[in-house]
């Protein structure tokens, strides 16, 4: 079954903002909390908080190479987008998702910390990635279509480019016939 995964840099969301959000959500009906949390966090991530180490072309290229490395072996990569402080992917996993994400984060985290000084990535401390990640099963063709659209258009929505194909760190640039999407 396909899965949508989002993971982010450790400093992408200030802890005080997350505490404020949890206090606000505690006042809302439980059924609305997850959706509201997700929307607010997506808004903050798109605002470019934190060191945004993934905006450096060599770091983004390293992340993309990590995503592509085991495509067809440990998973089938369906869609991806590397934003300045977070990453979105849709995969069809062939091993545990936790192993896949751990592999991506471990490799890119070590690489970033080794090149931190010379690339001036601005990573505070010794940890690149937030421990957790957000994942969701893709249970329908409609949800898959909407998820891929969201991933492809995330850099456009964040004001980083004009079209999905013009973002250099996304699978959208490889899809024929989606110019202007």
- CATH code of residue 151: 3.30.70.1290
> Is residue 76 within a helix (H) or strand (E), and if so which, with residue range?
strand 75-82
Asked if residue 81 belongs to a domain, the reply is yes
pLDDT at site 18: 75
pLDDT at site 166: 96
Nearest to 13 by CA among 63, 121, 85, 109: 85
pLDDT at site 140: 97
Asked if residue 94 belongs to a domain, the reply is yes
Chain centroid, CA 169 distance in Å: 11
Domain count, the chain: 1
Asked if residue 73 belongs to a domain, the reply is yes
Asked if residue 38 belongs to a domain, the reply is no
Look at residue 61 and give its three-state secondary structure.
Answer: helix
Q: Dihedral (C-alpha) 150, 127, 61, 87: value to the nearest 10 degrees?
A: -10
Asked if residue 179 belongs to a domain, the reply is no
Asked if residue 70 belongs to a domain, the reply is yes
pLDDT tens-digit map of 22-64: 888 788 888 878 887 777 777 777 777 789 999 999 999 999 9
Asked if residue 28 belongs to a domain, the reply is no
Cβ neighbour number for residue 29 with a 10 Å cutoff:
8
Asked if residue 32 belongs to a domain, the reply is no
> Is residue 20 within a helix (H) or strand (E), and if so which, with residue range?
helix 15-25
Domain with 56 in it: 3-10+51-174
State the 10-residue block means of pLDDT for the chain, 181 residues long: 96 77 81 79 76 96 98 97 97 98 98 95 93 94 96 95 96 68 44
In degrees rounded to 5, what are phi and psi of residue 75?
Answer: -165, 165
pLDDT at site 28: 81
Are the C-beta atoms of 119 and 143 separated by less than 8 Å? no
């Amino acid at each position: 079954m396909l899965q949508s995964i989002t993971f982010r840099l450790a400093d992408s969301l200030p802890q005080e903002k997350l505490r404020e959000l949890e206090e606000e959500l505690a006042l809302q009906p439980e059924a609305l909390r997850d959706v509201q949390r997700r929307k607010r966090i997506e808004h903050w991530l798109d605002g470019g908080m934190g060191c945004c180490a993934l905006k450096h072309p060599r770091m983004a290229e390293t992340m993309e190479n990590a995503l592509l490395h085991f495509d067809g072996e440990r998973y089938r990569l369906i869609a991806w987008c590397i934003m300045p402080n977070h990453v979105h992917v849709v995969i069809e996993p062939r091993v545990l998702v936790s192993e896949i994400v751990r592999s991506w984060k471990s490799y890119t985290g070590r690489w970033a910390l080794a090149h931190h000084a010379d690339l001036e990535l601005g990573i505070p401390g010794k940890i690149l990635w937030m421990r957790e990640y957000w994942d969701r099963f893709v249970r329908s063709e409609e949800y898959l279509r909407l998820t891929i659209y969201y991933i492809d258009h995330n850099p456009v929505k964040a004001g980083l480019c004009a079209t999905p194909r013009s973002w250099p760190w996304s699978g959208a640039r490889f899809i024929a016939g989606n110019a202007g999407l």
